[in-house]
Structure 1
Amino acid sequence: MMTFSRFFAALSLVGMTAAYAPLTQAVQPMSQEWEIDAPAPKIPARPQGYGDRVGEKALNSFANIATGWLEMPKNVINTTNQSNIIYGFIGGLAKGMVHTAGRMGVGIAELLTLPLATKPIIYPLYIWDDFDVDTVYGEVMRLQEEPRQPEVAPPPAPQAAAPVVAPAPAPVPPPVQYPTDTNRKIDAIFKKEMMK
């Protein structure tokens, strides 16, 4: 029994250290003078390292194990809001028990697979995030992939500009001229038809 408690204490210490390690690397401001109207500085997004991912996973697993029981009141409230109070209490309590077991099971699974930097299995990640949204479970054991940077092609070499030449105007065909006797015939037909 003594070795189990030592193992659990060591595991807890390692998990807490991994969870709080990213906080020790935070950049502290050089001076405490802040301008009130100044816009917030934009911090460039840096890729997460392995330690950051494992630390977040440890924090998620401990939070899900500790707060999994909050799924019961959450589901009672949400089911009551969606239906009536009787069904909300009975059905929400049953649904909450299932999600409590699911959230705590996900926390234990993430704790056991702590060295693998995988994507979170459960959404919302914490019980207090999106309290009115039902808990859903995603794919298990999917590794987080680094966002790939698009390859930048080298700029094309400058080329000498070709001289600009105005296009020659297209030749206009001459209008069609009918012989005069054709015009007299058409005029005669037109007059005959108009007299009718």
Structure 2
Amino acid sequence: MKRRLFLFASALILSLPLPASAGAVDALKQFLDSTRSFKAEFSQSVLSKSGRRPQASSGRLAFQKPGKFRWEVEKPYPQLMVGDGQKVWIHDPELEQVTVKKMDQALGNTPAALLSGSSDMLRNFVLSEGGEADGLNWAEARPRSQEAGFDKVRLGFAANGDLKAMELSDNFGQTTTLRFHQPERNPALAASLFRFTPPKGADVIGE
């Protein structure tokens, strides 16, 4: 679950509404330079390689350039990941455990590295138009590095350019699908969203 939480938080920068008048790849490049913040609620399902009944969860997310993000799962079990620009904090309340890593070591060449704000990071991904399916237009991003931890990210957009879905295929054959609700681009976000202090009594692992 922690790995899945991290992978999706690392894909936040790709989670942007795209203008219908442009191709998904061209629009992505434009929005990487123009979008400073984003927030939305989400519902998530995870389909295993065996095809057994999907696991479902829901929560909310936010990011702000440069390098700050918050990914919060609320149901069925709470989990939180916060990137404060220097470190990434992963909190598991049930285990009373906090894992902390340096931002550059944690993100590497994952999509989250794009949170640093430069479209130059796109050189680390192979981008392509994904065609139309399920009434959505899809863009696709594949990491060039074999150590990225995932195979590809697909993003589905409605005709008006709003982001409606995102699919991530990991290296274990799992497909995780996100549906975004009430997305907002460039909202004013409280600085407190991107701060984290380990709760008293929690076991802190890492930096």
| Normalised-by-shorter TM-score class | under 0.3
Provide the TM-score with structure 1 as the length reference.
0.25
Judging by fraction of residues, say which structure has more helix: 1
Quick check: which has more Rg, 1 or 2? 1
Provide the TM-score with structure 2 as the length reference.
0.24
Judging by fraction of residues, say which structure has more strand: 2
